[in-house]
Structure 1
Amino acid sequence: MPTNAQKASYQHRGRRHPRRPASTLTDKWTSIDGVDVFYRESPDAPADARVMTHLHGFGLSGRYLLPTAELLADEFHTFVPDLPGFGRSGKPKDPLDVPDLAHAAARFLEDRGVDRTTLVGNSMGCPVICEFAYHYPERLERAVLVSPAGGVINQPLRRAVGQLARDGGREPRKMITVATPDYLRFGVPSTFRMFKALTQYPSLERLLALKIPTLVVIGDRDPLLPGPDRIKEVASQTDSHVLLVLIQGAAHAINFSHPGELAHAIRLFMDDRPIVDDPDSPGTASVFEIHRGVFHPAADASPTEPPARD
């Protein structure tokens, strides 16, 4: 657990960033493998609620995932951890790669007494989920992969930097105030190490090996991913258990920029219902189901075709 000095440091940082958004989730600490781990948990989840755990992306904390996580916390027992080495959590002695982070997530859930969960990840969180499924399939109910990152599409580093720069101009301005402190704390050496581990991770092979109901959510303005047609082609190579949804108007950080649309799609997915646009999230963004395998009971529903990508 954090010392008084560490807590004072965190409070001091909070005063330096007064616009840090308040959360309806409860801030908590635990210790995993000797590392202090900060996490957020829904305070009033029903006793019989299904567990949903949100995993953050590269260099970030779970803070930017809160807009979506909070919308789902009334129905699901919700956890949003900062994985070891990220955000407010402590740094392990040795840097963690993608498999290490998956094992750390598993030990966090064990520590919280969670036997089975749905994992919702963004960007780097998606490979972590795929690795978790590879090692702990019996502990994973469903997977939600939002803007999955990694692999050749983000290589080499200069290409990824360019993609991130283009994405930054497409995200809400408030995302900068949330992400910048996380990136600064993560540091340049950690960034290079984690980038190498992420791009070398066999994301496609692990995705194709998934055997559970899986929702993949992409934005048509995301410069870090190939176009929807290529992603649909990959999804069709699985054993027909992947549901692919496009949020038109979204870039990479969908959990932050389009929480209403994403939470709506996740609820429908969890109930095996066809994905339709959310009438309660008006605006330029629209949700379209562009691929559905035959795994789900609602598979016979006819999805709406999205407009062509610009």
Structure 2
Amino acid sequence: MKNFFLLIAISLFTMNTYAQKVDTLSITLENIKYPYPVKFLPLSVEGQDIRMAYMDVAPTTTANGRSVMLFHGKNFGGYYWSHVIRALASNGFRVIVPDQIGFGRSSKPIINYSFTQLATWSKKLLDTLGVQKTSILGHSMGGMLATRFALMFPERMDKLLLENPIGLEDYKTFVPVSTVEEQYQRELKNTPESIRQYYKSYFTVWKPDYEMLVNAGAGIIFSAEYPRYAKVAALTYNMIYNEPVVDDFPKLKVPTILFIGKEDRTIIGKALLSDDQKVIHGQYKFLGKNTAVKIPGAKIVEFEACGHIPHIEIMTEFLVALTGSL
């Protein structure tokens, strides 16, 4: 009996210790520090007044007259681009970093999300800022969005830069279909530990520095508004699943460079797959090369011993490759 109570005490201590590491966050991340001042673009959609958060960072050296726009992944916001922004600004680029509607510090409306709509809002941000042409670096889901933007507005782009984009295969062909409600219920079951394990899958070796990603992803679970956040997450999952770009790669007319961490195994809806399916799909060491062949004139930069987020896991190597490509 003593051992039983001792185990309970240890478990409670472990839970409390972990809980202290994850602060309760608002679903618009006001209490997450962003690397540069955040501004807001007012928008309206489906009868709702909303706003898009963004950072607009001026060059910190002689301006080269060019800009780069950064599109974040599904489980991130502009906060994780700090080193990329600093490197680009120090090389003379203006850097524009939106939090897409439904993500980061932007509004979380319950709407019909689509890549077409997100791309249109991103173009409106460029119009508002007076930027006629830009290169776009899209990571993960941001890569799918950047691809859609390049297909819709090629005249507004210098280069398309894709960092471990998702959507290099058509998930509808092997991931079981889910309703928004089913995905919503899965989102509601998230815990800090399940989110930590998910983020760990992005890296080849987990480091304490990566805990900041867990804190940003897990802190919102304790918000009273988390059900709204979970519903938006389900809606954007549905967007990714139902709007593949894999068949559109041959139509791209913008100079394209892929940056691929070869150990990445990211699959949207991976938890719904059998172990055999997980082995077959999400193989970026093959998907990257296959995609580069599909895109006219595309180049590929591959990174060994790197997973889903090269700009964090191998920061220096990635930044050298990125700035060299620009």
Q: Distance in 1 between matches of 2:284 and 2:101?
A: 32
- Length, aligned pairs only: 253
Equivalences for residues 116-195 of structure 1 within 5 A: 116-150=133-167, 151-152=169-170, 155-156=175-176, 164=198, 167-168=201-202, 170=204, 171-182=206-217, 184=220, 187-195=229-237
DSSP 3-state at the match of 2:294: coil
Partner in structure 2 of residue 216 of structure 1? 258
CA contact (8 A) 2:203 2:307 kept: no
Partner in structure 1 of residue 55 of structure 2? 40
Listed one character per residue, the Cα deviations across residues 149-180 of structure 1 (whole Å, up to 9, x for unaligned) are 1343583479xx99946614635443342354
Q: Distance in 2 between matches of 1:131 and 1:11?
A: 25
Q: Distance in 1 between matches of 2:285 and 2:121?
A: 32
Partner in structure 1 of residue 239 of structure 2? 197
- Following TM superposition, by how much is the alpha carbon of 1:47 offset from its aligned partner in structure 2, in angstroms? 4.7
Partner in structure 2 of residue 258 of structure 1? 314
Farther off after superposition, 250-259 or 36-45: 36-45
TM-score when scaled to structure 1? 0.72
Partner in structure 2 of residue 54 of structure 1? 70
Listed one character per residue, the Cα deviations across residues 209-259 of structure 1 (whole Å, up to 9, x for unaligned) are 1112111011122111324234313322332x1111111121112222223
The one-letter code of the counterpart of 1:50 is R
The one-letter code of the counterpart of 1:124 is M
Q: Name structure 2 gaps, 5 residues minimum.
A: 1-25, 184-193, 221-225, 267-281
1:230–1:54 distance in 2 versus 1, CA, 3 Å: closer
CA contact (8 A) 2:256 2:295 kept: no
DSSP 3-state at the match of 1:32: strand
CA contact (8 A) 1:219 1:248 kept: yes
- Following TM superposition, by how much is the alpha carbon of 1:261 offset from its aligned partner in structure 2, in angstroms? 1.6
1:11–1:253 distance in 2 versus 1, CA, 3 Å: closer
Give the alignment partner of residue 116 of structure 2, picking from 94, 99, 108.
Answer: 99
DSSP 3-state at the match of 2:65: coil
The one-letter code of the counterpart of 2:88 is L
Q: Distance in 1 between matches of 2:216 and 2:200?
A: 20
Equivalences for residues 23-38 of structure 1 within 5 A: 23=35, 25-33=36-44, 34-38=49-53
TM-score when scaled to structure 2? 0.68
The one-letter code of the counterpart of 2:65 is A
CA contact (8 A) 1:98 1:201 kept: yes
DSSP 3-state at the match of 2:321: helix
Q: Name structure 1 gaps, 5 residues minimum.
A: 1-8, 271-310
The one-letter code of the counterpart of 2:229 is G
CA contact (8 A) 1:166 1:223 kept: no
DSSP 3-state at the match of 1:215: strand
Partner in structure 1 of residue 85 of structure 2? 69
- Following TM superposition, by how much is the alpha carbon of 1:115 offset from its aligned partner in structure 2, in angstroms? 0.9
Partner in structure 2 of residue 90 of structure 1? 107
Q: Distance in 2 between matches of 1:197 and 1:12?
A: 22
Which is bigger in relative contact order (C-alpha 8 A, separation at least 6)?
Answer: 2
Aligned-residue Cα RMSD (Å) equals 3.0
- Aligned-residue sequence identity (percent) comes to 22
Listed one character per residue, the Cα deviations across residues 252-310 of structure 1 (whole Å, up to 9, x for unaligned) are 1222222322221122212xxxxxxxxxxxxxxxxxxxxxxxxxxxxxxxxxxxxxxxx
Q: Distance in 1 between matches of 2:154 and 2:244?
A: 17
- Following TM superposition, by how much is the alpha carbon of 1:93 offset from its aligned partner in structure 2, in angstroms? 5.3
Q: Which of structure 1's runs of 4+ aligned residues deviate more than 4 A? A: 9-13, 45-48, 161-166
Listed one character per residue, the Cα deviations across residues 1-28 of structure 1 (whole Å, up to 9, x for unaligned) are xxxxxxxx799953xx6xx4x62x4432
Listed one character per residue, the Cα deviations across residues 80-131 of structure 1 (whole Å, up to 9, x for unaligned) are 1111121111234524222211111111111111111000010000110111
The one-letter code of the counterpart of 2:213 is V
Give the structure with the larger helix fraction. 2
1:236 is the counterpart of 2:293: yes
Q: Distance in 2 between matches of 1:208 and 1:246?
A: 21
Q: Distance in 2 between matches of 1:190 and 1:12?
A: 15
Partner in structure 2 of residue 226 of structure 1? 283
